[in-house]
Structures are given as C-alpha cells and as structure tokens.
Amino acid sequence: MSVTTYPPQPTLQFLRDRVNHHLERIYADVDEFEISPQLGDELLQIMGISDDVCEAPQHRNLWDQQDVFVICYGDSLLAGHDIPPLEVLQHFLETHSDGLLGGVHILPFFPWSSDDGFAVLDYSSVNESLGTWHDIEAISERYDLMADLVINHCSSRSLWFQNYLQGKSPGKDFFYEADPDADLGAVVRPRTSPLLKKVETVNGEKHVWCTFGHDQVDLNFRNPEVLKQMVSIIRFYLERGVRVFRLDAVAFLWKIPGTSCLNLEETHEIVRLLRVLIEHWRCDAILITETNIPNRENLSYFGNANEAHCVYNFSLPPLLVNTLITGNCNYLRQWLMSLPPAQNGTAYFNFIASHDGIGLRPTEGILSDREISALIETMEAFGGRVSYRALDNGVQKPYEINISLFDALQGTVHGKDSLGMQRFLCAHAIMLALEGIPAIYIHSLLGTRNDYARMEHAGHNRAINRHQWDYGKLETALADPDSDHCKVFEGIKRLVAIRREQPAFHPNATQFTLQLGRTLVGFWRQSMDRRQSIFCVSNVARKARKLALSDLNLIETDQWVDLVSGEALEDIRGYITIEPYQTLWICN
C-alpha cells in the first residue's frame, strides 16, 4: 500500500471530546468499577497523542488495486534450527513474490499456550521460536504488516490470569466472572466446551467466562484498566511497524447475561474508540474486524465509515466453494447482488481460505440445511473434517469445514475428477476480480494439501490446513514446472500481476452483477474515473459453455481483449466458448 501522510492539525480538544463521547457510551451502564473523568486524557497520554494531532479523513481510501495480502503463520516455512522462521518468511517474500504481494498478515507471533497462537501469554513479546522484534520490524519496513490484536481473551497461563487468581495487579479484575445460575442460555459462541470455568482464587471460588475454551479466558472490558492495557499494547505495535490491526473475535467482546453477548452496542463503541485512537497516531493505519457471523451482522462493523476500515467477507469462501462443486452460481450471484457497495474509506477484505476453516455461519439464510449437508458430505469425501458449535438446547451444529482449499476443489458433488487445478485457479480468479482487497492464504498460494499428520499431532481439526513447509523442499517443488505447487504458484502470481495493473480492480471501483445463467459467474467492474471497464466471466461447470457477447453490451467503438489469455475479441456480436473453469477478464 502506498503510504499517505497528512499535515498535523491542532485538533486535540476535538479529539478529546470524541474520545470522551465514546467512553460515556461504553461505560454508561457500568457501576461495579469507578470510571475516572480523566480516563479519556489517560488514553491519549498512553497513546502519546499531544498537541499535534494527525487527522485522518474519514472517507479516504487507503488502498488501491495493487494491494494483495498473504496470510501465514510465523513458522509456516522452516529452514532448520539455526535460521529464525520469520527470517525464512522474509526471504520467501523477497525472493518469490516479485513485488506482487504488498501486505503480509502474520498470525499471532507472540508466546502462546494453545490454539496455535490465539491463547496469548505475553502481548509484548515475540515467540522466541519464531525470531525477535527485529525480524518483525524488518518485514514491516518492506511490507504492510497486519498483526492480530487478540482482544477478547488471553491464556489461562498468562501473568495476567495468574495475578487474577492471586488478587494482584496487573490482572486483578481483568477477567469476566459470571454466576453459573445466571440466564446464559441465549449466549452465542462457536464452541461446544462449557462456557464457564470454575477456578479457585484468593477471594474464593469463581466462574470465569471462556468463549473459545478453558485455556482462553475472556477479558473484562467493563474494567477500564483492561482498556488502558489494550491501548498500551496498540501503541507498542504501532511503534514496531504494524499498520493493519486485525481485531480477533471482537464480536464477543462485551457481555450482558440474558443476551446473546454478540455484537452488543458497547462492542461497536469500543471499535469506534480504538479507530479514533489508532488513526490519530498513524493516519494510514487500518482496522479490520474478524467476525465470523451471518452476513448482515458482519456488515454492521463498517458503521458509518467510523468503525472498521475493512470487514472480512466471510460469506465468500463457503459460497464460492459451493458454487464450484455444484456448478450452480445462483446463491453466489444472489449474495453478490445483496452486497452494498463499500463507502469510500471502507472496503471488503476478501479471502477464500484461511488458517481456520470454511465457516458455515455466514451461509445462514442463504443456503438451506440440505445444501449445507451436501457441501459437508462432499468436503468429507475429499478428506475434510467438521468442527461444531453448541446451541442453547445442547444440540451441536456444524460451525466450519476444515480442509485445504486445494483438496476442497479436487472434484464436485459427483466425486473427484481431473479438473482440480482449473477449478482452484478459477476460484482465485473470481476472488481477485471482486470488489475489495484480496488476501491469499499461504497454503493456497503454494497448493498445499491436507496435513493429516499435523492434525493428529495437534489434536484439533484446524491443523489440517496449517502445514509447516521444509523450505528446501518447497524451493525444489517451486522449481519443478511439473509439480502442482509450481503450477498453482505461477498461476496465482500471473493473475495477481494482471490485477495490479487494472484501475477497474480498485477495491472501491464500481461492481455490477451480471445475469448469465446458473453456470457462468459474471460481474462488471468500472474504474473510479470511468475510463476502464472489465467484464469478469467464469465458467463454474464441468462442461464448456457458450457466452453470447451481446449479453455483455460491449461498446462497439472500443477494442476489447481478454486480459487472462491476451486474445482480442474480433466480433463482439458473436459467441465465445468458455472452457470448464476458465475465466475471462474482458477489458477495453
């Protein structure tokens, strides 16, 4: 991403008023903690914001069509005990990305006790098995660095929680306690483990809230000391080069027994407050909310362009996979038509694979139970696993499918076939052309398969798609033009290179969904200056399909070419044959 700087403006009093306004709304109903009238000034002091305030325009885009992220763990690539994995990652990016990947999301690189990093022991340290802050800063100097702010919970083995048990600070009153007899039946969460964990403290037996499992204890943001600690961590990350903050599991932040404890207004207000503080420290900083929830709720985190700059487009992965295995794009098309254009200053964060799985909650209200079952059965036939969540009646419901995307697309509902490579590249071509900022999981970039050994060793399904590559073996695979890994890597790189040159693929460029039947996914993109149009058409069926170019309403006076194949369209009133899983980017 290009870094845009703005002249400092003397708006400290205005900023102080904004901060205090958010705090008043957050703590309006909190009576168990004393809320100091100086809390706003304390937060500004913690952030180091003084007389000169950086004012970030609310509706200014901080990205363009050249922005493509890669998502990875700090140890996705290993080269022996003598070389820190973060150093290996940087070498890979500089050697193989050829300037195509502008941003990198390194999943939690802190010391942790479980959940592959998301049970944080110490927010201020880099896991010594990965490297040091020097390695993190070196990557941030070359790439836009996204880091996780694991804001909802921390490890039960952290210093904070151990201090909580002993009634010491920092940690005292840092964790949310609940009465096991309280009305908690409406609480929505993505796990099947008991919500509350009984612990012995110096003050007697307590029950602490654990949304994601008993090693991940939820922080109590009703206590302003927790907010102050998190703001201090944010500034620490900013000073070390983090530009993009991924607010992990933020939808669960605020708790009120008797409610769903999901997407509460206080949670939204905290996101607004953090945005104000972060963007006035660094004007081009970006907040992304990670909210694996139904689409309508997910979109609410845009606010009025005053909450998240970007929201994860969680409905895209399951709907796109479903489209490609059924050969029917009706649901994907209907969903695309329902997506409101992101305001300037906001953008969708598009992905089709991640370190977790293919979430099923975002399909609620879109796919029927029967169709979700068919999707699950197909993924299980391709070696995938299913993770569940518990409903309030004790019933377990499928929450996500755990599988590598390359394996997920090796066939259709009719079974495996020989078109897996074409289907896989088609999925990325669709994602790269859509409105929004694309992010590619490193194991999709490398065509990694299901890792059953790692899943068995880790003891949880998600590890199936968290392979650790031996860097020497990877280099050998990428150098072999006959290997699937090389074909995938070069194919995706080529698509990214084409995307980066097209103004019509700006994340906020106009998008209009085309009606081309059930087997052709089509949408039109137009650059913000209206000088470039691209008609994106993909055949999601196992058989070739004919497209009547007259259906696209191409302007006769323009010269049209398919950017993917490089072939010119001579007769825009004729027909063109689209092979199985072929994508056309028809551009003037």
Q: Which residues are catalytic?
A: 248
* Longest pairwise C-alpha distance within the chain: 81
Q: Long-range contacts for 570-575 (Cβ within 8 Å, ≥24 apart)?
A: 573/549, 574/549, 575/546, 575/547, 575/548, 575/549
Pick from 262, 257, 170, 168: which is nearest to 207 by CA? Answer: 257
- C-alpha span between 448 and 477 (Å, rounded): 11
Parallel, antiparallel or unpaired: strands 69-72 and 103-106: parallel
Q: Counting every residue, how long is the chain?
A: 588
- C-alpha span between 565 and 587 (Å, rounded): 12
Coil, strand or helix: which one is 306?
Answer: coil
Cα 237–Cα 440–Cα 285 angle in degrees, nearest 5: 30
Contact 145, 152 (CB under 8 A): no
The CA distances from residue 274 to 346, 431, 495, in Å, are 16, 29, 35
Alpha helices per DSSP H over 143-193: 159-166
Going by C-beta distance under 8 Å and a sequence separation of 6 or more, which residues neighbour residue 140? 240, 241, 242, 243
Would you list the DSSP string of 111-134?
A: -BSSGGGTSBS-TTS--TTT--HH
Coil, strand or helix: which one is 550?
Answer: helix
- For tokens 């049209």, the residue is 560
Task: Write phi, then psi, for 414 (nearest 5 degrees).
Answer: -90, 0
Q: Which two tokens stand for residue 465?
A: 């798609």
Q: Which two tokens stand for residue 330?
A: 């009706």
